[in-house]
Amino acid sequence: MKRADFFAILVFAVVFTMAFTACDSFFSDSWGTARDYDTSNLDVNAANVNEWINLSVGNPDLAAALVEKITVDLKNPSLNPWDKAALLEGGVRLAVEASGLGTSFLTNAADLLVDMDSDLSKDNVQGIMENVQGDFNKGRGKEAADSLAAMAMTSITINDEGVPRFDNVYAHTASPSGINEAIMVLALGELGDRPIEEWDDVSELSEHLGMKDDTFFVKDKENASQGAIALAAYLNLVNGNSQFEENPFNDFFGS
């Protein structure tokens, strides 16, 4: 994976996520005000997490409360690997909803579609991504990124070479949309207020990450943030996945 591919993957993650989250936001905004729930008494598990995802659309407070509950449940050593993978998958989607980016995606996805119909250029895509970054930082984006990282870390192991990997069950069951959403949120969380151009090199995005032989690794496990470690694990999950390697946005970056 070349450095340019890293930026292209992140562009793809944003665009792919727009397609799902913007639609959810549209239907939520169209059908009225979100219902109130007692967030102190939430019963969320692998069997009903998808129901909660649907109920949380347009309700970032509920999504944030569900993420908090799932984060605790994921640390339960008695949780079987399949339920754990399902909860993490749901937790990722809820973290995106908790960030409040649905409306941002709805607006920027419309702009992207206009550009795709006329002149889809690197500058146009980058401008849209900058808008998403601004909305992320003004809202609950950083909190959502931290929560997503905490959830992901319950399924990540770092080997002696500093390479973070997800457990086998999650690695084989994680959906493409979930992977895209996680990469987007974690990368935005690590980027903060820095220029969007720094997305083209993972070592610039986080000084504690590096890449060798197409594999992302952690240089300093003691000081690396959970977000950086989780991002590296998700990028390693992407490596070798044809859906990303055939990413049409690679053309923008000389790949």
* pLDDT surpasses 60 at 24: no
Give a yes or no: residue 146 inside a domain.
Answer: yes
Higher pLDDT, 92 or 242: 92
Higher pLDDT, 21 or 57: 57
Give a yes or no: residue 37 inside a domain.
Answer: no
Choice among 70-79, 219-228, 232-241 with the minimum mean pLDDT: 232-241
Gap between the Cα atoms of 192 and 187, Å rounded: 9
Number of folded domains that form the chain:
1
The highest-confidence range among 29-33, 144-148, 184-188, 219-223, by mean pLDDT, is: 144-148
Give a yes or no: residue 124 inside a domain.
Answer: yes
Q: What is the DSSP string of 116-165?
A: HHS---HHHHHHHHHHHHHHHHHTTHHHHHHHHHHHHHTTEEE-TTS-EE
Q: What is the mean pLDDT of residues 44-51?
A: 94
Give a yes or no: residue 39 inside a domain.
Answer: no
Higher pLDDT, 159 or 222: 159
Give a yes or no: residue 228 inside a domain.
Answer: yes
* pLDDT surpasses 50 at 254: no
Give a yes or no: residue 92 inside a domain.
Answer: yes
Burial of 4-19, coded b for 16+ CB within 10 Å and e otherwise, reads: ebbbbbbbbbbbbbbe
* pLDDT surpasses 90 at 84: yes
Q: What is the mean pLDDT of residues 239-246?
A: 54
Residue 149: which domain range? 3-30+45-253
Higher pLDDT, 146 or 54: 146
What global pTM score does this model have?
0.80
Give a yes or no: residue 126 inside a domain.
Answer: yes
Gap between the Cα atoms of 206 and 249, Å rounded: 23
Give a yes or no: residue 241 inside a domain.
Answer: yes
